[in-house]
Each structure stands twice: as structure tokens, then as C-alpha cells.
Chains A and B, each alone.
Chain A
């Protein structure tokens, strides 16, 4: 994943995964969340999701839930991950206002 930490621009997939994990979820629930929120526009393949989850864990933005007594492995967003997501929201708002000013918001 080519997420630029300095500039704060995340890929859409990364941002949605981070958002989905504000409440802990397992893999399938993340896919469902993204499908629902985007009305099916963004559908995430299992292989791509697996790769994304691994690299987000390496970055320390998400972590697996400690009590994996349940069969399915769940993940949650870390404090560092939340910071990243908040920064991204600010960046997106800026982008929207610039684009709205030029294209005209409707």
C-alpha cells in the first residue's frame, strides 16, 4: 500500500478499513461494512483485504483483538490509527472545499 504518511493521503481502501475498525470486526465483517457503506461501489477482494490488514498491522494503525477465544480473528483501530484517520478527514475536507469551489457544489 502506498499510503503517504507525511502528506496524509490514504488510499480509499485503507481509509475504509480504518473507519470500519472503530468497532472491532473480523475479515468478512470488514468486507460487508465497506460494501454497505459504499452501496457496493467499492468491493474489496479477500486477498487484497488480507494484504491490507497485514500492512496496516505492521504500521501499527490496527491491531488484532487480544482475546481471540472466538474462532474468527478480530481487529480494532489503534490510537495511532485514529490519528491517521482524523488527519485524513481534514485533508479530504480541504479537497472537497477546493473542488466544490471550482466545480461548484451541488
Chain B
């Protein structure tokens, strides 16, 4: 029996991951994703576990390469959107992305900012990122879009002297601080140890 759920998590990666893992505990595994749709089929309770990974900074080529790399390892991989955007012919500028990924279009990396990685519960290793340096890099990739938004809002607030932009800047300050804390924690650990 397939089961359909409609959810939108946006930038709350951990919440999405936790929810998928909760579904797995109940005996559902993912078969298809849409913008807000998650389609599940029955499986043994707790048979699989999920990771939600941000890949929005990657170029089209690297995103595809990473996707097939994970598939070759034996994981089930799904693309997922970060934003809710239905418009066709979308083009977006991502100054924080790597070379080749800075112009995101519908055909390329737009609406494919996240990967949902499904692995069997007994699969080892347990995590996707196992070294401090790699984690540091991952968290800074997560931080950069927010940092960019913070800068834009802050500059806009200063130019227009608008409270609205100021409030927006304060809001995005929260994720920036959150990810920056992680980046610094990992960097500090990496100085002494290389693996988590």
C-alpha cells in the first residue's frame, strides 16, 4: 500500500530528516518526492534511515556526479526542493555557489537543492560526513546562502532605513549564527583530531 503525505520543511533540514526517520520507524519508506509530496510504501519498521543533504552550492555537473556516486555506493537518492517555487523558466543567481552553479535554472539545479539519501539501517558507516574538515566545509556551504541574505537585507535596511529589512536581517541572522557555530566547532576539533 502506498501512502501519500504532504509536508513542506523549507530550510529545516534536520526536521525533514527526523520526520522521514519517524516514518521509517512506522514502517514506511520513500518511493517518490514532489514539491510538497512524499510518497511512501510499506517496509519493515526501522529498515532504512534517512539523511537530508544540502547540495545547492554545487554545479549541475557536480550535483549529478554526486547523485550517481551515492547511488553507486548503494544508497537510494532523491532530489528535493528547498524553496517552494512553481514558476517555469526560473533563473536564479547564486553568488555563494561554486563555479558553474551560480546560475541556477529549472533544467539544472533549481528546485534540486537537497538530496534525500536513504540507506539500509545496518549499512556502515552511519554518517555521510565523517571527518571534521569535511563537516566544516559542509556547514559553511549551508551557512553561505544565509550569510548572503543577511548581507543583502542589512544593506537594504541601511539604504532604505526600513524596519522591515532590519527585521528580515535579524531573522536570517539566526541560521547564520547557528551554522557558524558548527563551522567553528568543527574547525577547532580538526586542529587536534581528523575524524569524528
Interface residues of A (CB under 8 A from B): 1-2, 11-13, 26-28, 31, 35, 40, 42-48, 50-52, 71-73
Q: How far is the CB of A47 from chain B (nearest CB, A)?
A: 4
CA distance A52 to B195 in the complex (A): 13
**Chain B residues with CB under 8 A of A50:** 66, 69-70
Interface SS of chain B: helix, strand, loop or mixed? mixed
Q: Could you tell me if A26 and B131 are in contact, using CB atoms closer than 8 angstroms?
A: no
**Chain B residues with CB under 8 A of A72:** 72
**Chain A residues with CB under 8 A of B72:** 26-28, 71-73
- Contacts of B102-136 to chain A: CB distance below 8 A: 117, 124-131, 133-134
Q: Could you tell me if A13 and B73 are in contact, using CB atoms closer than 8 angstroms?
A: no
Q: Could you tell me if B128 and A45 are in contact, using CB atoms closer than 8 angstroms?
A: yes
Q: Could you tell me if A51 and B134 are in contact, using CB atoms closer than 8 angstroms?
A: yes
**Chain B residues with CB under 8 A of A44:** 125, 130
- Name which residue of chain A comes closest to B138, CB basis: A47
CA distance A62 to B23 in the complex (A): 41
B99 at the interface (CB under 8 A from A): no
Task: Return the CB mask of B120-161 against A: 1 if under 8 Å, else 0.
Answer: 000011111111011001100000000000000000000000
Q: Could you tell me if B129 and A35 are in contact, using CB atoms closer than 8 angstroms?
A: no
Q: Could you tell me if A48 and B194 are in contact, using CB atoms closer than 8 angstroms?
A: no
Q: Could you tell me if A45 and B130 are in contact, using CB atoms closer than 8 angstroms?
A: yes
- Contacts of B52-110 to chain A: CB distance below 8 A: 53, 66, 69-70, 72-75
